[in-house]
């Protein structure tokens, strides 16, 4: 049986910084993001993709649909983190 991944960041206290990053990155991607609730951007992404995501149980969604929602969010965040790391390495 597959293990469920922990949603807790490895670095204690990193939640706020990750939320700020998500908010900034998704705003640059053209989504309206509430800086106080960046986790809600998933509903806007789902809406633009035509996927019926709603608060609560979304057991009707296929794995493919869930990936289409989370992919643009996580992918954009990873690209930005890589860009920031490269920028920091170039400064050394």
Q: Which of 10-19, 24-33, 38-47 has the lowest average pLDDT? A: 10-19
Flag whether pLDDT at 84 surpasses 90: yes
Q: CB atoms < 10 A from the CB of 38, how many? A: 21
pLDDT in tens, 31-74: 988 888 888 899 999 999 999 998 888 888 899 999 999 898 98
In a domain, 45, yes or no: yes
Q: Closest Cα partner for 41 from 68, 23, 14?
A: 23
In a domain, 6, yes or no: no
C-alpha–C-alpha distance, residues 82 and 14, integer Å: 17
CB-CB contact of 41 with 22 (8 Å): yes
In a domain, 10, yes or no: no
C-alpha–C-alpha distance, residues 70 and 83, integer Å: 20
Q: How many domains does the chain have?
A: 1
Give the structural domain span for 82: 15-91
Task: Report the predicted TM-score, pTM, of the whole model to 2 decimal places.
Answer: 0.73
DSSP 65: H
Quick one: tokens of 72?
């643009």
């Amino acid at each position: 049986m597959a293990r469920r991944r922990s949603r807790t960041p490895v670095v204690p206290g990193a939640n706020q910084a990750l939320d700020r990053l998500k908010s900034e990155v998704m705003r640059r991607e053209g989504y309206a993001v509430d800086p106080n609730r960046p986790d809600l951007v998933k509903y806007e992404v789902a809406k633009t993709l035509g996927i019926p995501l709603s608060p609560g149980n979304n057991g009707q969604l296929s794995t493919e649909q869930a990936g289409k929602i989370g992919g643009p969010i996580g992918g954009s965040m990873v690209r930005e983190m890589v860009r920031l790391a490269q920028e920091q390495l170039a400064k050394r």
